[in-house]
Chains A and B, each alone.
Chain A
Amino acid sequence: MRGLDSPRNGPKLGWSRVGGISQTRRVFGVLIRIDSVTKRYPDGTVAVDRLSLDIPDRSITVLVGPSGCGKTTTLRMINRMVEPSEGTILIDGVDSRQQSVNTLRRGMGYVIQNAGLFQHRTVVDNIATVPRMLGWSKDKARARARELMERVGLDASFAKRYPYQLSGGQQQRVGVARALAADPPVLLMDEPFSAVDPVVRKGLQDELLRLQAELGKTIVFVTHDIDEAVKLGTMVAVLRTGGRLAQFAPPAELLSDPADAFVEDFLGADRGIRRLSFFSSGGLDLLTAPVVAVDATAEQIACRAASDVPYLLVTGLDGRPLGWSEPGALTAGRVDVGQLLPYGRPFVAGKDSLRAALDCAVLSPTGWAVAVDAEGRAAGVVSQTAIGEAIRGAHAHASAHAASVDPKAATR
């Protein structure tokens, strides 16, 4: 649609999404440029104060901050539901005031808290709203709506239902489908998931990331939840009360390098732990010596007991972990599975992050984390100490990497 296939004039910006181990360097253009925009209301309140942001295309940019930081106002200035008092907003290099406001809005999907569905229209007609306004035939618009229902994970049987017959999570899926109906290049999302319960919210977040991987929209996402921002954002803009930008950075950099005390405070006390989500567990040295099968012979047990580990992990005949045992308590051929210490929740080596690995180690009664492969078979065990070393290694690697690519090029 508009702009996505035209050559880009803006500068190409590059940065790495993951600080340390798995480096996927992506290159983006700027689709929306917010240029020293101020919103001042007649009573003198300043909602947004000289804000400048370059929102890269085909990625999720999250605006996050406490209430009253002007994040929703900023979002609504992009589709001109709020008109800026000063400054300009360029969409793909063109001033947003140069086209009619309704044309501008029909080119941008909008998802709102509680979905804001039209309660008097069926699900399929809700989704078909914008295509119908753009002059599509009823059949074509409805066919498109049904296609989108499938895309956002809604069963076709919902098509003829009314919004009141759906759960909050399903309504929000309809809201996302409705925003995508005319295939706009831009998606504006205003706290879309904050009114649903945490389990549904996590599902919707994962679904959004999956959709985004398929569709590659330019998404501007407003939330007050820093965890959501870190999870979803390619770039995160932290705004402070009074509508000023505190920091604009990829989430890993935000966690490792908060610009000031406000950002650090906003990120919360456990930002160090959360940053580990961006480091892969693939670099951990897994020990296989303390892993012993349930049908092991006396020699095998003795040999493993000699490898200087306080506990052995007993696995079943299929290779799945069963539990921990002290070496002395194991008798060949007579392993009592009921006597084993629980092994807790294992992590998937290479797929899960260091955060997951550390969590497993902390929760494990022995202080050792169990790594499994994709099929759930034990791949090895790793101690808290080893994970700690891996974390320090990842940090060192990240800062060396950051120095070489100069992250300021991305944050500007």
Chain B
Amino acid sequence: MNRFFDIPSDLQHDWLGLIVVHLREALLPVLGGLLLALPLAQLCVRLRWLYPPVLWVTTVLYAIPSLAFFVVLIDYTGQTELTVMIPLTVYSLVVLVPAIVDGVRSVPQETLAAATAMGFGPVRRYVQVQLPIAVPAILAGLRVATVSSISLVSVGMLIGNQGALGNLLHDAQIYNRPELAWNSVITSAALAVLADGALVVVRVLLTPWMPGAKRGAKSRTAGARPESAAVPALEDAAR
């Protein structure tokens, strides 16, 4: 067990260092994907005809094996983290674009009409009404994209040890130390679970207005008792 965290020196990082690199290589692409997906999704919502081809393109890109991506990119970006992160960014779009489009489309027609009638321009309406209401859907997409990205980083091992924790798999083989492979798998899985949990917490904090967040919202509402929602409903019916 004491050799479990004994990382071979050719990886140039200790265990915590590998974790930092791994998270950087996994999460920056998701962030980049989100920044790309937001305007793209807005376009798809506004121009309905654009959504099917965009979806088709993101799916085709997702189907390209990462190895093929690397081969093309290595000529331009070399054996760097960037070469790993670019395909991961592209892959995240296949989850994020539909998540945002569906989330934004799920905003009720009445809410949109009310916003328009109150004098919201298209940009203000998107930022202040549609996106906030799409937050649960967007975060659901982010969770999938994040977990998948954390697991995919390991492939970077193939282009000169750019796979962070994935590099341990290679070392496990060449040094005949299976515990390094266990370390790689367990640590990646733990990172994925923790990142997923963190996103759930973010979702709960961002959406106190969701029926599911009832307990949180209740404790926020000063003096609100559990039965208080039912009582006014009855009063209203009695009027």
Q: Which residue of A lies closest to B116 (CB)?
A: A81
A3 contacts the other chain (Cβ, under 8 Å)? Answer: no
Given contacts A119-B133, A197-B237, contact A113 B209 (CB under 8 A): no
Binary contact readout B162-182 vs A (1 if CB under 8 angstroms, 0 otherwise): 000000000000000000000
A177 contacts the other chain (Cβ, under 8 Å)? Answer: no
Chain B residues touching A, range:
35 or more
Q: Considering the chains assembled together, what is the distance between the CA atoms of A133 and B217 in angstroms?
A: 26
A102 contacts the other chain (Cβ, under 8 Å)? Answer: yes
Most chain-A Cβ atoms within 10 A of its Cβ — which of B116, B208, B228?
A: B116
Q: Which among A7-15, A30-38, A163-171, A373-381 touches the partner chain? A: A163-171
Given contacts A102-B119, A157-B224, A200-B239, contact A81 B232 (CB under 8 A): no
| Chain B contacts for A175, CB-based, 8 A | 114
| Chain B contacts for A81, CB-based, 8 A | 113, 116-117
Given contacts A160-B222, A165-B229, A167-B236, contact A116 B114 (CB under 8 A): yes
Q: Is the CB of A110 within 8 A of B117?
A: yes
Q: Considering the chains assembled together, what is the distance between the CA atoms of A183 and B149 in angstroms?
A: 52
B151 contacts the other chain (Cβ, under 8 Å)? Answer: no
Contact of A102 among B110, B121, B207, B222 (CB under 8 A): B121
B117 → A minimal CB distance (Å): 3
Given contacts A117-B111, A167-B232, contact A199 B211 (CB under 8 A): no
B129 contacts the other chain (Cβ, under 8 Å)? Answer: yes
| Chain A contacts for B114, CB-based, 8 A | 110, 112, 115-118, 175, 178
Interface residues of A in 164-200 (CB under 8 A from B): 164-167, 169-170, 175, 178, 188, 197, 199-200
Q: Considering the chains assembled together, what is the distance between the CA atoms of A112 and B109 in angstroms?
A: 10
Q: Is the CB of A167 within 8 A of B117?
A: no
B132 contacts the other chain (Cβ, under 8 Å)? Answer: yes
| Chain A contacts for B221, CB-based, 8 A | 160-161
Contact of A119 among B209, B224, B228, B238 (CB under 8 A): B209
Q: Considering the chains assembled together, what is the distance between the CA atoms of A163 and B210 in angstroms?
A: 9
Q: Considering the chains assembled together, what is the distance between the CA atoms of A103 and B238 in angstroms?
A: 39
- 17 A-B contacts (beta carbon < 8 Å): A102-B119, A104-B119, A106-B119, A110-B113, A116-B111, A116-B113, A116-B114, A118-B115, A119-B133, A120-B135, A120-B207, A133-B118, A133-B120, A155-B232, A157-B228, A162-B209, A200-B237
Q: Chain B interface (Cβ within 8 Å of chain A)?
A: 108, 110-121, 129, 132-133, 135, 207-211, 217, 220-224, 228-229, 232-233, 236-239
